[in-house]
């Protein structure tokens, strides 16, 4: 396989570009999108590269159509992605729920900008974290990854495709305008160094008839591909294991939705990724995700120099959320600071996890600037002096 | 055309375990489904190379009853989903079964853009002038003065003419019939299924339960007789004035042309891309 960009070496590129290259190396061959700042460069890179690797890149009439097209592409057997920002992500929520309900592997990238509404199109924010998790209606489960560097934008996009295929689920990559447009050096592995996971296909006639069954007991049904003789019927209505609509059967609905929850929640250990810095002897912790965690890391170093025993828990995955890990952290420290570029979203998850064992303090910031390390230091110093 | 019995068509193409259908007495969707299956049967198309897609509404439940691959999607979005399927696997033939509200209201944008792209898909459109599944609200097709639960004193807005909309948007083939036009309907679907690009066969289809009984037509035959009154064959319509056509619905073949479809256009685009990039 020949790629129209550097592989097995490093390149100095934007986060958007890194996401596009990672998608192609992860096997993505279908992209549908609609222009939006700050995610347009992902589309532009896909438009440049995909025709050269015999993939399809198509501009749809809106973001609703974009996510619809990638779901269709996935059922036709392709790995597929779309990318957008807040306003477009809002439009995608309906079909994001459809992808959850029909267990369709897709990757949706949301490069967050200031909101609500049109807000601050060119500036970063972390205001869509709750929307990424809870944006679509009804009980649902999906996976949300948050990169903090251009390298992570690359790595997490590959991972997003693999998790989508492995668990037959939509995966959201939640970046921001800073990572979208920032240029950093990225190591792009050789193709053979990238681990690529493919969805499991039906292996027996029984599995062909049960595209929403659970033959392996892991909650993940093998996925038939259209045009291969399976004659699969896929619906967003509540359906039984064979795919037949069963809209007024309480038990079938509960069995379906709980399996969709179980296939993710039973595999938290595989899905959830995080990094700890200087937490061994910490009396104070910072929990952060995405671009802010870089300032938080610098703040840890500055505070350590001043003798404050502080450490950082950087979350790569914000959903599913490891409440137990936060509880264990809360048992060890007396206060947890949560810096985030919104008025409190991750904060609520951390607070729930801490179960009152440690005080949880929000360090909010909105308006389109990432917290400086100094701002985090100042807030923690003030908080610890009390 | 061969004349297999309806039972043979049923046994061959329907999922028995999904029957009975959800359709009300007098509904026209079953007839249009039969026309479509007869067209497929006549053309001896491979059942495993056809995917049915649909959105939401009574007619959108059709893919669940037929023994083919099927994607029953969200309201109005069927053609956007179809775009992904067709572009990934151009060997598949896509039939989109849509209703008038699905295609022309909530899905209006997807509809005109799928046509503009000349997406290779055959749309079978059930136009019953109403939202049947939700209980008879007015639709973007409801003719002026007709009643629905959301315009109980008679529709005051102008209707869309879906066939004309499709012609103007660039479809390769557009025909409109009533469910009464059995032979013409099947022939149009056969033609549509064999053509490249976007093809549309629209059917005026009775909905006595949600639409008819609010408009003094409690049974399907009354609606069919009304169709006879309001429809005008396209050749005659061309000689009529705008005033004479007021409140009428034109039926027949609106357009039959051979512009390149999206699959071919993209294939050529990929060749151009590789040439330009020196790939």
Report d(CA B24, CA B133) in Å as an integer: 10
In this structure, what token pair is assigned to residue A365? 């910031």
Measured between beta carbons, the chain A residues lying within 8 angstroms of B266 are 56, 58
Q: Which of A343, A291, A367 is nearest to A120 (CA)?
A: A367
Tell me whether B107 touches chain A (CB under 8 Å). no
The answer for residues whose C-beta is within 8 angstroms of residue A1's C-beta and 6 or more apart is A53, A191
ipTM strictly over 0.90? yes
Q: CA-nearest residue of chain A to B60? A: A235
Nearest Cβ partner of B87 from A73, A232, A245? A73
Residue A385 has pLDDT above 90, yes or no: no
SS (H, E, C) A263-315: HHHCCHHHHCCEEEECCCCCCEEEEEECCHHHHHHHHHHHHHHCCCCEEEEEE
Percent of residues, chain A, with pLDDT higher than 90: 99
Task: Please give the domain boundaries of chain A with CATH numbers for all domains.
Answer: 9-193 (3.40.50.970), 205-269 (no CATH), 274-385 (3.40.50.920)
pLDDT of A386 above 80: no
Looking at beta carbons, which residues of chain B come within 8 Å of A75? 71, 84-85
pTM for the full predicted model = 0.98
Instruction: Please report the domains of chain B, with CATH numbers, ordered by start residue.
Output: 6-277 (3.40.50.970)
Asked if A227 and B91 come within 8 Å (Cβ–Cβ), the reply is yes
Between chains, do B88 and A52 touch, taking CB under 8 Å as contact?
Answer: no
Contact A51 B63 (CB under 8 A): no
- Answer yes or no: is pLDDT of B2 > 90: no
Cα distance from A214 to chain B (closest Cα, Å)? 20
pLDDT exceeds 90 at position B1 = no
What would the pLDDT profile of B78-134 be if each residue is shown by its tens digit?
999 999 999 999 999 999 999 999 999 999 999 999 999 999 999 999 999 999 999
- Mean of the per-residue pLDDT values of chain A: 98
B27 has a pLDDT exceeding 80: yes
The CA dihedral of A168, A170, A175, A176, to the nearest 10 degrees, is: 180
**Rounded to whole angstroms, how far apart are CA atoms B156 and B144?**
6
> Which of A32, A52, A234 lies at the smallest CB-CB distance from B72?
A234
Structure tokens at B230: 């309001």
- CB B139 within 8 Å of CB B129: yes
pLDDT band of A1, cuts 50, 70, 90: confident
> How large is the average pLDDT for residues B20-41?
97
In this complex, do B279 and A245 lie within 8 Å of one another by their Cβ atoms? Answer: no
Among B110, B112, B105, smallest CA distance to B130 is for B105
Average pLDDT over residues B40-56: 98
The tens digit of pLDDT for each residue in A298-322 reads 999 999 999 999 999 999 999 999 9
Question: Going by DSSP bridges, is the β-strand pair B93-99/B50-54 parallel, antiparallel, or unpaired?
Answer: parallel
Say yes or no to pLDDT of A101 above 90.
yes
Give the CA distances from residue A116 to residues A17, A65, A87, A89, A132, in Å, rounded to whole numbers and listed in that order.
26, 22, 8, 12, 14
Q: Which of residues 210-239 of B touch A (CB under 8 A)?
A: none
Identify any residues that bridge with B69 across adjacent strands, giving them in sequence order: B51
| N residues, chain A | 386
A73 contacts B74? CB cut-off 8 A: no
């Amino acid at each position: 396989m020949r790629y129209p960009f550097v592989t097995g070496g490093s390149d100095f590129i934007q986060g958007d570009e890194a996401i596009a290259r990672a998608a192609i190396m992860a096997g993505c061959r279908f992209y549908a999108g609609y222009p939006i700042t700050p995610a347009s460069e992902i589309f532009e890179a896909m438009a440049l590269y995909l025709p050269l690797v015999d993939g399809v890149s198509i501009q749809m009439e809106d973001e609703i159509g974009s996510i619809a097209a990638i779901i269709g592409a996935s059922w036709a057997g392709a790995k597929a992605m779309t990318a957008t920002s807040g306003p477009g992500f809002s439009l995608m929520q309906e079909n994001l729920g459809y992808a959850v309900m029909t267990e369709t592997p897709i990757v949706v990238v949301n490069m967050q900008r200031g909101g609500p509404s049109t807000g601050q199109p060119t500036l970063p924010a972390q205001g869509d974290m709750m929307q990424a998790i809870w944006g679509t209606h009804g009980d649902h489960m999906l996976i949300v990854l948050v990169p903090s560097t251009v390298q992570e934008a690359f790595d997490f996009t590959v991972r997003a495709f693999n998790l989508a295929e492995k668990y037959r689920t939509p995966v959201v990559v939640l970046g921001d305008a800073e990572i979208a447009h920032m240029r950093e050096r990225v190591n792009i592995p050789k193709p053979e160094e990238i681990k690529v996971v493919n969805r499991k296909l039906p292996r027996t006639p029984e599995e062909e008839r049960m595209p929403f069954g659970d033959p392996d007991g892991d909650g993940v049904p093998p996925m038939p591909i259209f045009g291969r003789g399976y004659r699969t019927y896929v619906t967003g209505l509540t359906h039984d294991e064979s795919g037949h609509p069963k809209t007024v059967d309480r038990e079938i609905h509960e069995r379906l939705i709980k399996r969709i929850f179980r296939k993710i929640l039973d595999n938290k250990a595989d899905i959830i990724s995080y990094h700890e810095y200087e937490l061994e002897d910490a009396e104070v912790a910072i929990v952060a995700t995405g671009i802010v965690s870089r300032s938080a890391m610098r703040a840890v170093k500055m505070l350590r120099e001043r003798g404050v025993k502080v450490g950082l828990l950087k979350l790569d995955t914000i959903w599913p959320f490891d409440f137990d890990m936060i509880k264990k952290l809360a048992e060890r420290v007396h206060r947890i600071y949560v810096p985030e570029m919104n008025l409190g979203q991750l904060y609520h998850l951390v607070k729930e996890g801490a179960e009152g064992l440690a005080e949880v303090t929000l360090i909010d910031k909105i308006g389109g600037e990432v917290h400086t390390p100094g701002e985090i230091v100042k807030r923690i110093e003030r908080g610890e002096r009390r | 055309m061969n004349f297999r019995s309806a039972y043979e068509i049923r046994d061959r193409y329907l999922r028995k375990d999904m029957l009975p259908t959800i359709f009300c007495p007098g509904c026209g969707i079953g007839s249009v489904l039969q026309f479509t299956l007869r067209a497929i049967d006549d053309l001896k198309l491979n059942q495993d190379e056809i995917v049915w897609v649909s959105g939401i509404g009574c007619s959108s439940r059709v893919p669940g009853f037929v023994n083919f691959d099927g994607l029953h999607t969200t309201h109005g979005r069927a053609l956007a989903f179809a775009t992904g399927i067709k572009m990934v696997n151009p060997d598949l033939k896509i039939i989109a079964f849509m209703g008038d509200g699905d295609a022309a209201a909530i899905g209006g944008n997807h509809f005109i853009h799928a046509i503009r792209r000349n997406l290779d898909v055959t749309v079978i459109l059930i136009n019953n002038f109403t939202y049947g599944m939700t209980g008879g609200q007015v639709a973007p097709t409801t003719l002026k003065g007709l009643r629905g639960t959301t315009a109980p004193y008679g529709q005051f807005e102008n209707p869309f003419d879906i066939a004309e909309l499709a012609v103007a948007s660039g479809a390769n083939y557009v025909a409109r019939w009533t469910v009464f036009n059995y032979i013409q309907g099947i022939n149009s679907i056969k033609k549509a299924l064999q053509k490249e690009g976007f093809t549309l066969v629209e059917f005026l289809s009775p909905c006595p339960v949600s639409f008819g009984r609010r408009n003094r037509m409690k049974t399907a035959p009354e609606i069919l007789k009304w169709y006879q009154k309001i429809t005008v064959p396209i050749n005659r319509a061309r000689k009529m004035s705008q005033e004479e056509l007021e409140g009428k619905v034109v039926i027949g073949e609106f357009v039959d042309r051979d512009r390149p479809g999206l699959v071919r256009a993209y294939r050529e685009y990929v060749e151009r891309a590789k040439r330009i990039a020196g790939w």
